[in-house]
Amino acid sequence: MKFLLTSLVALLLAPVTAALADEFAELTSKCDSCHGPQGVSMHSDMPTIGGQSADYIADSLRNYQVWGRPCIKSAYRHGDTSRPRTDMCKIAGGLSDEDISALADHYSNLPFVAANQEFDSATAAAGALLHEKHCESCHEEGGKTAGRGPVIAGQWVAYMKSALKFVPTGEHLVPPMMEKTVASFSAEDIEALMSFYASQQN
């Protein structure tokens, strides 16, 4: 009897579960049409999100919901590219708490694939030293593992540079320790750090 009831419930719920799965696939396909298949970006101004931590993805989406970070208008890169340009504040604004948890779960379980980008080996070595001293405490294992901060090793440099521009202006809130060091760095220091992150391609 118990078995019969469980099977009956499963049978009744199956179409609901399937419909929800379809809806979720449609949502991730929208994300992937900018961030790239499996959240791996092929465009230097678009961050890779596959393989970031669930906490970071969920926190970022909640920040965008309240305009807690700048939202750059962007064109779709894959699929129907004639869709009008949009931005993360608008996209996150349409997400429920359940969507956010499901998206964080989905993307954090995908591997982070480092971007294939050019870098200067000499400055990368200088960047490694700066990283160890000032950034490693939150961006662990040379930035390959999320700690208090996200994965930054192998992230697109053009995207990171544009994100860092909003740190000293207070438009993109980061921990005070990071804000202070980033603001005190010269353009050469930032270049060196970026070469180091770009050099991590395995």
Residues near 116 by beta carbon (within 8 Å), at least 6 away in sequence:
201
Tell me which residues in 140-169 interact with ligand HEC (CB under 6 A).
Answer: 148-150, 152, 155, 160, 163-164
Q: How far is the CB of 10 from ligand HEC (least distance, A)?
A: 29
Residue 138 binds to ligand HEC (criterion: CB under 6 A): yes
198 binds ligand HEC (CB under 6 A): no
Q: How far is the CB of 182 from ligand HEC (least distance, A)?
A: 6
Q: How far is the CB of 131 from ligand HEC (least distance, A)?
A: 7
124 binds ligand HEC (CB under 6 A): no
**Sequence-distant (≥ 6) Cβ neighbours of residue 115 within 8 angstroms:** 41, 44, 48, 154, 155, 156, 157, 198, 201
The only residue of 54, 76, 101, 120 in contact with ligand HEC, by rule CB under 6 A: 76
Helix (H, G, I), strand (E, B) or coil at 27: helix
189: helix, strand or coil: helix
Q: Which amino acid, one-letter code, is at 170?
A: G
Total site size for ligand HEC, rule CB under 6 A: 43
Half-sphere exposure of 25 (CA within 13 A, CB side): 6
Binds ligand HEC (CB under 6 A): choice among 42, 46, 54, 102: 46
User: Which stretch in 10-18, 24-32, 108-116, 117-125 sits in contact with ligand HEC by CB under 6 A?
Assistant: 24-32
> C-alpha distances in angstroms, 95 versus 22, 91, 92, 193?
16, 7, 5, 34
Q: Residue 114 in contact with residue 125, Cβ under 8 Å?
A: no
We find the least distance from the C-beta atom of residue 183 to ligand HEC, in angstroms, to be 10
Handedness of CA 92, 180, 136, 131 (dihedral sign): positive
Residue 5 CB, shortest distance to ligand HEC, in Å, is: 37
Between CA 24 and CA 37 the distance in angstroms is: 15
Based on the shown chain and the rule CB under 6 A, indicate whether residue 65 belongs to the binding site for ligand HEC.
no
Where do contacts with ligand HEC occur on this chain (CB under 6 A)? 27, 30-31, 33-35, 46-47, 49, 57, 59-61, 69, 71-72, 74, 76, 86-88, 91, 103, 134-135, 137-139, 148-150, 152, 155, 160, 163-164, 174-175, 177-178, 181-182, 193
